């Protein structure tokens, strides 16, 4: 575990109250650093108290404090609830209302943890901010590089694509080189009470996993009914709000039998859910916005691999960064606006951007694209 830090340096560990961040803190204490534990209160503790697998509220703040007491290090709780609400929760709701499928964890890392918390760590005179993420920070020829975790089943690099180079220079990820089982073993070795605690579950601020109920509260018009329409123009049924659907969804359409149909587009302007056969999901290219790049920008197109969802492996593609365009080597299915497109070369994370809604290019009946469309931009 090479952290590239002077012995005895002051560091801040972001502690969520879970196993990963607790072990990261314990390993830093064991390595002889001056460790400060810091926990963010991000949302209402009362709502979180009854939710298992949450983070940054309620029981988890208490657990983080107990770990710090065990390790003999100071522990501070920062109230970032208003920042989190504006940068993450409100953005989450707005994204759904635009017919997108958001990833609030990326926004949290981008706007709160790696921005506000990192700034606070610097103000405390720390030389690094330590987190329990499963990614690797490796030294390259031009400075710090972000790489996938050794354990690909735990890899969180997709969620950290928006990390800037200056942030990466200050961050350290001591767990990126080990599997989860080893982390649990360390927790037991350090005799931490949270050694067997379940992993936190997304989405932390959504009680009982019902994001629709959160959206209904935040945006009262979120559940406006509308039509379910085939790509050939036929109205097949009714729905109770486009926020109940995501691109590529097959189950829960409730439109009768026949050949399998999938959600291929969401139209918030008309409150329509557009469905079609699997081939209608195919995308040969797409646009991205808010590009983040780590390292020197390439001149001209770049061949690499991209991930369009956290649950999918990287696939070959060509990047046209000046145009904000990604061209796939083979068609991809179920590409959803609001998700991230993350770029890789081998294990290295080059950067990424947010997937933009496909251009309409409307033809056919009632503005619906025909079933032969590739859905490309």
Looking at the annotation, which residues are catalytic?
108, 204
Q: What is the 3-state secondary structure (H, E, C) of the chain?
A: CCCCCCCCCEEEEECCCCHHHHHHHHHHHHCCCEEEEEEEECCCHHHHHCCCCCCCCCHHHHHHHHHHHHHCCCEEEEECHHHHHHHHHHHHHHHHHCCCCCCHHHHHHHHHHHHHHHHHHHHCCCCCEECCCCEEEEEECCEEEEEECCCCCCCCHHHHCCCCHHHHHHEECCCCCCCHHHHHHHHHHCCCCCCCCCCCCCCCCCHHHCHHHHHHHHCCCCCCCEEEEECCCCEEEEECCHHHCCCCCCCCCCCCCCCCCEEEEEECCCCEEEEECHHHHEEEEEEEEEEEECCCCCCCCEEEEEECCCCCCCEEEEEEHHHCEEEEEEEEECCCCCCEEEEEECCEEEEEEEECCCCCCCCCHHHCCCCCCCCCC
Angstrom distance (rounded) from CA 75 to CA 66: 9
Torsion of CA 309, 303, 297, 149, to 10 degrees: 50
Instruction: List beta partners, residue 287.
Output: 325
Q: Record the tokens describing residue 355, joined without a space.
A: 């997937």
Count the neighbouring beta carbons within 10 Å of the beta carbon of residue 257: 5
Gap between the Cα atoms of 193 and 62, Å rounded: 12
Give the residue among 330, 60, 5, 341 at the shortest CA–CA distance from 194: 60
Sheet holding 34-41, edge to edge: 75-79, 34-41, 10-14, 129-130, 171-172
């Amino acid at each position: 575990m090479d952290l590239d830090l002077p012995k005895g340096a002051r560091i801040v560990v972001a502690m969520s109250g879970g196993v990963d961040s607790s072990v990261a803190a314990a390993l830093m204490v064991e390595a002889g650093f001056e460790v400060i534990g810091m926990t963010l209160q991000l949302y209402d503790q009362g709502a979180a108290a009854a939710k298992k697998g949450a983070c940054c509220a309620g029981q988890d703040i208490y657990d983080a404090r107990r770990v710090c007491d065990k390790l003999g290090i100071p522990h501070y709780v920062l109230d970032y609830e208003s920042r989190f609400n504006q940068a993450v929760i409100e953005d989450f709701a707005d994204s759904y209302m635009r017919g997108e499928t958001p990833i609030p964890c990326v926004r949290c890392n981008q706007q709160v943890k790696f921005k506000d918390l990192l700034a606070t760590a610097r103000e405390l005179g720390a030389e690094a901010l330590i987190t329990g993420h499963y990614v690797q920070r490796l030294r390259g020829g031009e400075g710090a590089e972000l790489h996938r975790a050794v354990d690909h089943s735990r890899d969180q690099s997709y969620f950290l694509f928006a990390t800037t180079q200056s942030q990466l220079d200050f961050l350290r990820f001591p767990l990126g080189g080990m599997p989860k089982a080893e982390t649990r073993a360390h927790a037991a070795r350090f005799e931490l009470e949270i050694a067997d605690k379940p992993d936190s579950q997304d989405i932390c601020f959504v009680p009982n996993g019902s994001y629709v109920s959160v959206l209904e509260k935040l945006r009262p018009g979120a559940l406006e009914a509308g039509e379910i329409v085939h790509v050939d123009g036929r109205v097949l049924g009714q729905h109770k709000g486009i926020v109940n659907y995501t691109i590529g969804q097959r189950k829960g359409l409730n439109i009768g039998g026949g050949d399998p149909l999938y959600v291929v587009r969401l139209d918030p302007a008309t409150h329509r859910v557009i469905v079609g056969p699997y081939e209608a999901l195919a995308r040969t290219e797409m646009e991205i916005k808010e590009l983040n790049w780590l390292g020197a920008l390439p001149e001209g197109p770049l061949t690499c691999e991209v991930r369009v969802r956290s649950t999918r492996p990287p696939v070959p593609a060509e990047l046209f960064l000046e145009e904000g365009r990604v061209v796939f080597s083979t068609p991809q299915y179920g590409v959803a606006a609001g998700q991230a497109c993350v770029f890789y070369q081998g294990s290295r994370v080059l950067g990424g951007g947010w997937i933009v809604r496909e251009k309409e290019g409307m033809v056919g009946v009632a503005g619906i694209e025909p079933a032969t469309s590739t859905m490309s931009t």
